[in-house]
Amino acid sequence: MPLGVRIFAVYFLFVGLAGWFVLSTVMDEIRPGVRQSTEETLVDTANLLAEILRDPVIAGNLAQSHLPEVLKAYGRRRPEASIWGHTKSQVNHRIYVTDASGTVLLDSSGLAVGRDYSRWNDVYLTLRGDYGARSTREDPNNPDSSVMYVAAPIRDGERIIGVVSVAKPNQTLQPYIERSQRRLIWLGSGLVVLGLLVGALLSWWLSRSLGKLTDYAQAASAGQRVKPPRLPSGELGQLAVAVEQMRSELEGRDYVERYVHTLTHELKSPLAAIRGAAELLDSDMPAEQHQRFVGNIQREAARLQQLSERLLHLAQVEQRQGLEERVAIALAPLVEELIEAQRARIDAAQLCVEQELAPALKLQGERFLLRQALANLLDNALDFTPEGGLIRVKAERCGERITVRLFNQGGAIPEYALTRLTERFYSLPRPGGGRKSTGLGLNFVEEVAELHGGTLSIRNVSGGVEVSLNLLAA
């Protein structure tokens, strides 16, 4: 299972359990919370009524006072009040008053006058001087039919002479409880979903960053030229920098070792030739042989110089991970410049050079490297084109890319050599018995093409060889 999926799974489990626990806990607390608030209001109401009813109860004329009519009028009121989206169209309080023995003197519902309520907890506890309250179901089989009763003592000085109880059905509170529960479910679910989305985004970001780092490490280990991923500052950014530094150090060490081995191998032949010619020059010999050995030394010295220069250029290109600049380079003027630089060789060999380049074609990249690459290709074509032969340079655009094709008339390349031409130090003998080149030119061109996101291909065509360089267009 990918790391990002595992992280999200743990996060999902944690957020889901936490959300379920919090929601279930709060949902369970809504109902008792609302009822506690209602009970607190009933306490205030009962104590207010106790003070209002004290004088009629002391005088014993409660039934003959105006209070029964007041309670009946109270029961007939229609408030039509909109409370939190619920319309309250009637009053729900029931009020009854008992004397010191618990006998009901007054009942707003008119149902219990004259009854003995001394055994109900609200009356019984209040007459004893305690806090009197009870909750009783009107229908024993219906838990939602419970009614809260809160009582307050009616005092004559310190003596309790009666009790007033205020009742409110819990069913009247249910719309507000359900509304709060619905809102809590929506808000809580939205919060959980938002938390999961944030977790998914965080897991995706972390997985994507680690994926970039993994792809970079795999590409680097495969020897590909890649840039380190851009990661935000922090542990991942530091890890990317550390991997890049480690890659650079390992590649540098391996490259130096490989470079020294190949350089030593390639230097042995010209050095041996120079040493042998120098030893022979110490002995007496005809002037003609003397001149021939001096020429050998000069040719091998020039080969050593060319080899060191090309190795230096190749090393600089191979160690680079990207271009220093990207500019638009007009192709036709660049090719014309390179041909003019080789004009002496072209005229001496009586070569025909054709150009099929549209003036609008422009390459995108680093001018110096592209010039060196095209110069190497042209130099290679000049080496293998017979006297009086044809060299043709043309280019065509396809979408966002330009393909530069360089054709030179001459013999076909052996099939076994086609796949090895871009290997370092691999080269074929020049026509006419000429010595091999350094074998670094095409390797350099391939490295430049890869730096520019392009490709190099070499193939035999009718009448000669064609080299294609595919690069980005400007």
Can you give the pLDDT at residue 19?
75
Whether residue 346 is predicted with pLDDT greater than 80 in this model: the reply is yes
Are the C-beta atoms of residues 297 and 271 closer than 8 Å to each other?
Answer: no
Can you give the pLDDT at residue 390?
93
| Strand partners for 96 | 107, 165
Distance (Å) of CA 343 to CA 184, 330, 339, 346: 87, 21, 6, 5
Mean pLDDT of 38-50: 91
- The DSSP string of 313-368 is HHHHHHT-SS-S--EEEEHHHHHHHHHHHTHHHHHHTT-EEEEE--TT-EEEE-HH
CA gap 331, 351 in Å, rounded: 22
Can you give the pLDDT at residue 27?
72
Mean pLDDT of 241-270: 61
Condensed to tens digits (0 to 9), the pLDDT of residues 405-422 reads 999 998 888 888 888 888
Can you give the pLDDT at residue 316?
59
Place of tokens 């130096």: 256
Query: Global pTM?
Result: 0.44
Whether residue 152 is predicted with pLDDT greater than 80 in this model: the reply is yes
The listed range with the strongest mean pLDDT (3-7, 73-77, 133-137) is 133-137
How are beta strands 464-472 and 455-461 bridged, if at all?
antiparallel
Question: Quick one: CA dihedral 36, 38, 41, 45, positive or negative?
Answer: negative
Mean pLDDT of 441-452: 81
CA gap 76, 72 in Å, rounded: 6
